[in-house]
Structure 1
Amino acid sequence: MISSLVLVVEDDEEIASLLERYLARAGYRTTKSSTGLTALAHVQRLQPDLILLDIGLPDMDGFDLLTKVRANSTVPVIFLSAMDDSTDKLLGLKLGADDYVTKPFNPQEVVARVGAVLKRTRGVAGNEVIRHDGIEVQLDSHIAIASTEKGRVELPLTATEFRLLVCFVRSPFKTFERASLLDACMPESDALDRTVDTHIANLRRKLATCGQEGYIIAVRGIGYRFARSTGV
């Protein structure tokens, strides 16, 4: 079996080489880039399984690069940043990042985060299709489809958004606490409850783009429920 390919986007050669060494020891294939432009070329040509993305790049910041990546790819992304600011973390997650690690970091922790995110991406196994109303989730192929007036449309979800949708579609009408959604979708992360809100907002937006508004209902003081809002 071919090991997962991790693209390390980091302009500090010492940090990039350190990450490559630890990832290689853990059995991952790696390639690296020191600029946003070369990273975009690598994403298109090599199709990595995961990206470790530094925010402070010389030609563009990591937020801009992630936006460009997300225009054509749902590859899992973990941000690396010297900025330990909740606003930056939430912005990264809103743009579609799957996790966020603050510098200075323990490289073993980064490797563990890589494994956890890849597990979330591929961890929903079995030849099973689950459905609720106009939403279909294909667990084996990791595909989510919305039925629209113009036909079936595949939803461009990140790994975390996909796992959230799986939780909801498996148990429609159930009210999930934020903590339980974190445990189910980001078990290795130290993310705060607000992180769930950001991923939920992204999932809502993508559902709405396909004409599937009103599915995710906020339950005040508890969390979220998956069922079409009646507007009452």
Structure 2
Amino acid sequence: DLAIHGKLVPQDSNDEPALNLLKRINPDFTPCDNGQYRNIPKNWCACKLVDICSFLSRGKSPKYSEDDKTYPVFAQKCNLKDGDVSLEQARFLDPSTINKWNEVYKLQTGDILVNSTGTGTVGRTRLFNTNCLGNYPFVVPDSHVSVVRVLKSICPQYIYAYISSDSIQQYMEKNLAGSTNQKELYIGVLENMQIFLPPLAEQQRIVARIEELFSTLDNIQKALEA
């Protein structure tokens, strides 16, 4: 929460302003503007999540195979409660349906995966890395998982930290649809999510600082368990 409000690492006036970065991505970009946005650091810019994504979509409803174990499907349960991702409990695509899945649906390192249905798991956010594939050629998401793939000029680890923050998790919780037993996060809620975007160099400094702090916390936890 400190990170996404510019309070975790100091600002550097020599960093290229985030607005310049967004203008390169889209020359017609217009920053969001209201009183709250004016409280962010000088070189930051307020935008919507959709403004910085190359792919932002729910997955598809797959046809599963009970016999062929070649092509796994990423489901809600693959976003582990402890913060990791795993394909150990994945089901598998019917090989005859592979041509129905465009290349864009194959998950990539840096994809941010958000559980989009299910009481108790909706909103759970994890960062994907192809290291979890093992010998599988690729993995695709089912319709209960949304994929947030940011543009190359945006740091995915920063956006992952942003979406994982308490304030954004609360935003998603407040905007769920559906009944008590089947809450749903519509893709429009993600598209319109406000993002406070720092300069790219500061995004990278924030991520490095977060990793440093969590490493320290892990060491403390291990020491307590010894």
Place the TM-score, normalised by the shorter chain, in its bin.
under 0.3
The structure where helix makes up a greater share of residues is 1
Q: Which has the larger radius of gyration?
A: 2
Higher relative contact order (CA 8 A, sep 6+): 2
TM-score calculated relative to the size of structure 2:
0.27
